[in-house]
Amino acid sequence: MAALSTIGLTAEGAAMLLDARAVSCVELAEAYLRRIDAVDGDLHAFLRTHPEETLARARALDEGGRSGIEGVPIGLKDLFSTRGIETTAGSRILEGFRPIIDADVVEACADAGLISLGKLNMDEFAMGSSTEHSAYGPTRNPWNQALVPGGSSGGSAAAVAAGLAPWSLGTDTGGSIRQPAAFCGIVGLKPTYGAVSRYGVVAFASSLDQVGPFALNVRDVALLLSIIARNDPRDSTNVGLPAPVELPEAEDLKGLRLAVPRDQLDAGVDAGVAALFEATVERCRALGAEVSETTLPHAGHGLAAYYLIAPSEASANLARYDGARYGLRVDAPDVHAMYSETRRAGFGAEVKRRIMIGTYALSAGYFDAYYGQAQRVRTLIRRDFAKAFEQYDALLLPTAPSVAFPFGAKLYDPLAMYANDVFTLPVNLAGLPGLSIPCGLADGLPVGFQIIGPAFSENRLLAIGHALERAIEFDPVPPRILEGRG
Amino acid sequence: MAHYDSAMALSDSDVRHVARLARLGLHEDEVAPLRAELETILQHVSAIAELDLAGVPVTSHPLELVNVLADDIPIACATRDDALANAPDRAGDGFRVPPIGA
């Protein structure tokens, strides 16, 4: 047969090829591995692949028989523990670390017959919005290699956009799935807090972290969500989803009440993003939705609350990296010096900044003024959303205020980098689901459209996203990739 | 509540103190640049310290959760060798670390 192209191939499409016996599981996996070999030297989406394990699993499925989604490959953010396979969270401090467990989402993918291609690049410990904070070098945006892919799950987004994997998993603590999905022109979902198990996921900010899918279209995102959202007693905050995930079929938005929280846009949105956002809101009306305007009066404090809560929880979670039991150790004559020198050498600049902010905010005399106050703001933001959802089925916002930015543009200005999450992080503070779909190109770069719903409204968000996606007809394949330059 | 304003102005010794609490080794030439960065971030986030939120409950978890009890069933757990598999310095059945206060 002619060489199989993975560019633009969806997971559902790949399963159909397997069903039709047009390709075997081994041939499909080999096609992705070839694609990675061909372009990932430039893109750097994967931190590592493990072709022998990948092909062994594919061979076992070819020999044992397969059905449904079994045999479709997947890429995994390097934040997920993979038993016996190096897991670094993008940090030097975990270089060479081989977990003794699989994360629940890794197990869930294996249970469903998905085949892992390898581990994807990310900002160190998921702290960042550009993947520039990876200790192993940044990932490049498949639409333009001079630009960042977004972050922290930048490798997960770039891999899918460039045809290195049909779909992937990432995590979203303040926008780390939705923003890179937007920057790379694909679909990304941050599920309701608690829908997906965090067991075996390297912890960043435990009250905010959530695992979610990336794919080329909304149906694939729904399918992958149905695989990973399950009850897991090993994560005490996990509740699963109250109803099974429905594969979306909706073609219109009739009967839906949507609203734009107009006050949020005062934060400032680039002209090209604003124009596409408004055009997409109009499209919602054309598809039959009733679209109003509302406000989220306290969400403006979200950035400050987030940048206290997330670093505080991170400073506690990252206390475990001390050189004693696993990961990097820098030898010193005294145990305290060993801890301090190990952490000095093992953590990058952004991680150190956040550990310092978090330790300061939690230290004696400041706890209530900072962490306590941030948690009260969080209550107000939750109430704002709850009030809006009394009247509306979903809220609409841009995913990010800009398109992908150049390397270095925000690297040395932490506040500018943080501000890129202004439309995504209130959703994490309130524990809600948010879906980002591509809504068009501004200056040749993808723009993300975000749909936010009440807790556990994933099926509604997926239906809205699917109907919109059909109407928009966005082509998620970057032109540079088609021309063979990507 | 005046101490919030003073909290934004960090001294070098504040930075060294917090680094010590965080067990984060800092070389002397790293203190001043880090202090400037932290001050900028704290100035931004300190806005919320001034909000009057008396009576607003804190949110530590976004969902309304209730405690559930699980049956007490023994399951397999990590073996000693598993737990020691990534040890930077293993001594028999333990992790070897440098002495305290050497």
Residue A309 predicted with pLDDT over 60: yes
Strand partners, A147: A406
pLDDT of residue B4: 44
Residue contact B48–A301, C-beta within 8 A: yes
Cα separation, A395 vs A423, whole angstroms:
11
pLDDT band at residue B2 under the 50/70/90 scheme: very low
- Asked if A231 and A264 count as a contact pair (C-beta separation under 8 A), the reply is no
User: Smallest CA–CA separation between B52 and chain A, in Å?
Assistant: 9
Q: How many domains does chain A fold into?
A: 1
Instruction: Choose the closest CB to B88 out of A308, A319, A329.
Output: A329
- Averaged pLDDT, B75-99: 95
With a pLDDT cut of 90, the percent of chain B lying above it is 67
**A293-304 pLDDT tens trace:** 999 999 999 999
Q: Which residues in chain A have their CB less than 8 angstroms from residue B41's CB?
A: 307, 353, 357, 414-415
Place of tokens 């960043």: A204
Contact (CB<8Å) A233/B70? yes
Name chain B contacts of A339, Cβ cutoff 8 Å: 23
Please name which of A4, A397, A10 lies closest in space to residue A187, comparing C-alpha atoms. Answer: A10
Put simply, the answer to whether B7 touches A369 (Cβ < 8 Å) is: yes
**Topology classification of domain B1-52:** Histone, subunit A (1.10.20)
What is residue B64's predicted lDDT score, i.e. its pLDDT?
76
ipTM: 0.92
Put residue A332 in one of left, alpha, beta given phi > 0 → left and psi -120 to 50 → alpha: beta
Query: Is pLDDT above 90 for B63?
Result: no
Tell me the per-residue pLDDT of A12-33, one tens digit each, with 9 for 90 and over: 999 999 999 999 999 999 999 9
pLDDT at B66: 78
Q: Do B25 and A98 touch (CB under 8 A)?
A: no
Are B57 and A352 an interchain contact pair (Cβ–Cβ within 8 Å)? Answer: no
A-B contacts (CB, under 8 Å)? 180
**Cβ atoms A437, A455 nearer than 8 A:** no
B44 chain-A contacts, CB cut-off 8 A: 303-304, 307, 415
pLDDT of residue B5 exceeding 50, the answer is no
Angstroms from B97 CA to nearest CA on chain A = 6
- The string of pLDDT tens digits covering residues A233-263 is 999 999 999 999 999 999 999 999 999 999 9
- Output the CA–CA distances (angstroms, integers) from residue A443 to A402, A404, A447, B77, in the order listed: 11, 11, 10, 54
**How open is the CA angle A283-A247-A226, to the nearest 5 degrees?**
125
Mean pLDDT, range A413-438, rounded to an integer? 95
C-alpha separations of A224 from A175, A177, A250, A376 in Å: 19, 14, 18, 34
The reply to whether A4 falls in a domain is no
Query: Is A427 among the domain residues?
Result: no
Half-sphere exposure of A18 (CA within 13 A, CB side): 28
* C-alpha span between A80 and A199 (Å, rounded): 9
Q: By residue range, what is the domain housing residue A173?
A: 11-256+459-482
Report the CATH number at residue A78: 3.90.1300.10
Position B7 pLDDT exceeds 60: no
Grouping H, G, I as helix, E, B as strand and the rest as coil, residue A434 is strand
Residues in chain A closer than 8 A to B56 (CB atoms): 376, 379-380
